[in-house]
Amino acid sequence: MSDTSGAMDSQTRAKRNAGYYAADMIPDNSIVGLGTGSTVFFMMERLAERMGEGLRVTGIATSFQTERRAYEYGIPITSLHEHDHIDIAIDGADQIDPQFRLIKGRGAAQTRERCVAAAAEVFVIVADEGKLTDWFTAPVPVEVLAFAVPIVMNGLVALGGTPVIREGVKKDGPVITDNGNWIIDCTFPHIENPEELQCTINAMPGVLSCGIFTEFTGKTSIVVGTSDGVEVRSL
Ligand code: 5RP
């Protein structure tokens, strides 16, 4: 593949560096969880290159977008029905705190991303350094059954949040997820206890999954891309 990194802006170069580094962490003959987003795309680009050199892997995609990209790159795809154990999952994040807790879901894929992370032995997050934060400020995406949206909105307001239904782009009305549900983006003035907030939101009737990920820190490594390299962090 040709090297086009010189023409990229520094954030894109950082994503590419993180994605390429993580692809090189994938062992031969493994089942790989394929996350969603632009940084994961770079990981898949390098993975396809490695497969051309003889690496054998099978992927489990966390979104239609990733699945389509895998078909383009010739990465074979399987499902949790065939493989309920994943050797390594590689995914992006919207914010990462010092304890490796995450906010995910800008791409509305957090429910499948959580399932894949849960099934994985090793969870690798690929991100540019702009994703690192001391405390969460990003809105928390929440995937919700359309039927239950009003009561979940009320519940989020009761928690001190400001919920907004995510609207489609080039589609009137709400975003419909790959699972057929809606997304509510909820801003909180201050997230004091991410674990508690995650559990409270995920327990609301009608919620599939929110984008706060606190349960995988023990198996998480972070590959932080910069414009000229990477820094790998583990706890
Ligand atoms: C999708 C996600 C993405 O992994 C996250 O938004 C990061 O995306 P990008 O690498 O494009 O910045 O959680 O639901």
- 91 CB near ligand 1 (under 6 Å): yes
pLDDT in tens, 108-123: 999 999 999 999 999 9
Alpha carbon of 5 to ligand 1 centroid (Å):
20
pLDDT of residue 6: 59
Q: Is 155 left (phi over 0), alpha (psi -120 to 50) or beta?
A: alpha
Residues comprising the chain, all counted: 235
> Exposure pattern of 181-212 as b/e (b: 16+ CB <10 Å)?
bbbbbbebeebeebeebbebbeebebbbbbbb
User: What average pLDDT does the chain have?
Assistant: 96
pTM of the complete model: 0.96
Q: Which two tokens stand for residue 177?
A: 């997820």
Pocket test for ligand 1, best of 90, 104, 125 (most atoms within 8 A of CB): 104
67 is known as an active-site residue: no
Alpha carbon of 29 to ligand 1 centroid (Å):
26
The amino acid at residue 138 is: A
Answer for the pair 189, 207: CB distance below 8 angstroms, yes or no. no
Using the predicted structure, report yes or no on whether residue 4 has a pLDDT greater than 90.
no
Q: Which two tokens stand for residue 39?
A: 């940084």
In which band, very low, low, confident or very high, does the pLDDT at 7 lie, cut at 50, 70 and 90? confident
List the domains of the chain with CATH numbers: 5-133+215-234 (3.40.50.1360), 140-211 (3.30.70.260)
